[in-house]
Structure 1
């Protein structure tokens, strides 16, 4: 796409503690982007992650402004091995809390945490299954709510895995769990009402769409069930969200090519269309691997647009290289009470990895914050990690940071 690469700049790598762990920070200053040289990691990872860089950059004082923090993750999946890990044979019940214990402090610290639920919750009578047609116990929602999730998007290629009844049951379980959702709907009226979350007076419109449903037909007359990617529909939804007072529009498109670590031209064009239609933040899913993050200057109230083409897998049983990892993408957004303008003032990502191990004679899963897990192993604090796990953690760190520090990465700042 001509000129598209011009919107990207170089990344500056460093680290910062975030309450219970350390993450890489990307500061996007208000319309002003100071450039720093690249600091390359040395041969020892522990040295690289200990660096504390403070560039000469002044941010507006926040005394009279409310700062809203938003965290996003990629695909939340439940494969057959995860079903086995969560199942208690004695009670017959399922418990998924252990999957998220280690990352709960990161997820629950945000004002708003969002993930993509890539499974259906159609009930036990429909049979619990993993790939290729997913149906998971509703107990997964209890664990997600407990760990900090506030909103789940449901528009993805597995939305129709248990047909119309599965869509409706999933919505019912989400409502019962107290989790907001968008992407699939129980009626046309519900579909036409954009999801807007009001936090500290900042209104965030959240929209979700999918490229398709794996060839599973949406019943005629029930097209409202699943939001399919359609440029005209997206523009109209964004318009409605703005009319409802949305200060920021966040779009979650389920799109792209599976297992490819870079967006294709069609994906790049789609993101451009979303920006042109009024989206401020685009956070994609579906490839099951991490893809580029991009930033470009804006002409609207928000000082610039931000796109993450794919946040990777947050939790799944896909253990191949790149598919076993993702990021928690965090934003800080502020709204000036005087002007009413909202702007993205900071973004950061925390690399994550799905640890698969044996515990009490059966398979177990947990999501780990990579840098914290590396340090815990080095300090002897996590006895569940093996040397092989430690090696993989360091690989994930390098895979993630090298991808996000390439020539197509956004301006990155650290404080």
Structure 2
């Protein structure tokens, strides 16, 4: 994939580390700091082979409040389509997403028509304009297998995939024909052939039409294993699985997740497993050399009753390096947060110093760069970061090297 240009130091890694040591206290000395998100020199210095980075994030769900935010922002920017612009909503994570060699989104709902009508829970039909923003902030491909994939039947699946095509986004997990479903999605990432698979545990009681089971991928160990084998036969060097599973609003993986995750890690050659659906962050864990992100929480959403955890999410950052005949994967994470304006009081006014817009932020970056943050917002961001860190590590992943891509600023 071709990445957007960005500024970073051109000094060799060893020279940068030496400079950091001389300037201790001025800048962080980690080779994984904010200026080195995509630094192949880091791996080249260790004598490794091909390298590439992957960024993957949680559920994208556009609830009515976010549609209204897109309408409000379009009036300010004068951009967008049919009076909706979601770029400002998601701009806070663009610096991370756009620097990955491969960026994977999870598109959970059904896309509607630009002019509407739009629907929210329990059967989503969201503005297709969000796909333009997903592309604009740097995503390359999206998984489309979720419990909402069949919310509007065959027509909904077709329209969603047409929308993603129009935006220039690859996709996998649902299909418009048997031939499309059978063809593995394989992308060239810095000369490495990377396959992306996507499966879901169910469709909220909806059934795939008889004879059109290819419409959306239903999780099954045999089906996933067969899909991986087809991808390898088609030339894939690396296979990444997006999977929609688990229990909503639970910060610990369900037994079914643990069981299936372990079987996938031990019985297939899948190189990375990325989980969605619970809408809250769950731990990462390395099983038999394979990283499993049980749930990355929400990338962006606005549930009717935010519970404090649904606003928190994670961008998983994975550094792939070829070592002989196998791939070494180093895992990092970027805590994120969705600012949600509070409800106004009886007079229609917001509390003093309250946020006025829905915004997705990279917490560490916001704490470091936004000097206008109130004490209240700064405290909320720090809480989200620390809680996410505790969740990420509570299955022993620290012992396998898991850490934040950028530490919590002092």
| Bin of the TM-score, shorter chain as denominator length | 0.7 to 0.9
Question: Equivalent residue for 1:366?
Answer: 359
Question: Equivalent residue for 2:385?
Answer: 397
Question: Equivalent residue for 2:11?
Answer: none
* 1:412 paired residue among 378, 383, 401: 401
Q: For residues 162 and 110 of structure 1, what CA distance do their matches in structure 2 show? A: 33
Count of residues paired in the alignment: 353
* 1:236-385 to 2 correspondences below 5 Å: 236-275=226-265, 276-297=267-288, 304-318=289-303, 319-335=306-322, 339=324, 341-357=325-341, 364-377=357-370, 380=371, 383=372, 385=373
Residues 59 and 334 of structure 1, relative CA distance in 2, 3 Å threshold: closer
Q: For residues 69 and 356 of structure 2, what CA distance do their matches in structure 1 show? A: 5
Q: For residues 315 and 62 of structure 2, what CA distance do their matches in structure 1 show? A: 19
Q: For residues 126 and 221 of structure 1, what CA distance do their matches in structure 2 show? A: 30
**2:283·2:395 contact (CA, 8 Å) conserved in 1?**
no
Q: For residues 168 and 246 of structure 1, what CA distance do their matches in structure 2 show? A: 26
**1:70·1:330 contact (CA, 8 Å) conserved in 2?**
yes
Residues 190 and 121 of structure 1, relative CA distance in 2, 3 Å threshold: same
* 1:2-81 to 2 correspondences below 5 Å: 61=45, 65-81=49-65
Q: For residues 241 and 305 of structure 1, what CA distance do their matches in structure 2 show? A: 18
**1:68·1:111 contact (CA, 8 Å) conserved in 2?**
yes
Secondary structure class of the residue paired with 2:270: coil
Q: For residues 123 and 7 of structure 2, what CA distance do their matches in structure 1 show? A: 37
Q: Report the TM-score, using the length of structure 2 for normalisation.
A: 0.79
Structure 1, unmatched stretches of 5+, are 1-18, 22-49, 298-303
Q: What is the Cα-based RMSD across aligned positions, in Å? A: 2.9
Structure 2, unmatched stretches of 5+, are 1-5, 9-26, 32-41, 76-80, 343-349, 406-410
Q: Deviations over 1:364-400 (max 9, x none)?
A: 32111111222334xx2xx4x4433222111101101
- Could you list the runs of 4 or more consecutive aligned residues of structure 1 that deviate by over 4 angstroms after TM superposition? 50-54, 88-92
Q: For residues 402 and 111 of structure 2, what CA distance do their matches in structure 1 show? A: 40
Q: Deviations over 1:187-211 (max 9, x none)?
A: 0111111111111221111110011
Question: Does residue 133 of structure 1 match 2:126?
Answer: no
Relative contact order, higher structure (CA 8 A, sep 6+): 1
Question: Equivalent residue for 1:387?
Answer: 375
Cα displacement (A) at 1:51? 7.0
Residues 92 and 196 of structure 1, relative CA distance in 2, 3 Å threshold: closer
Q: For residues 375 and 82 of structure 2, what CA distance do their matches in structure 1 show? A: 34
Cα displacement (A) at 1:220? 1.7
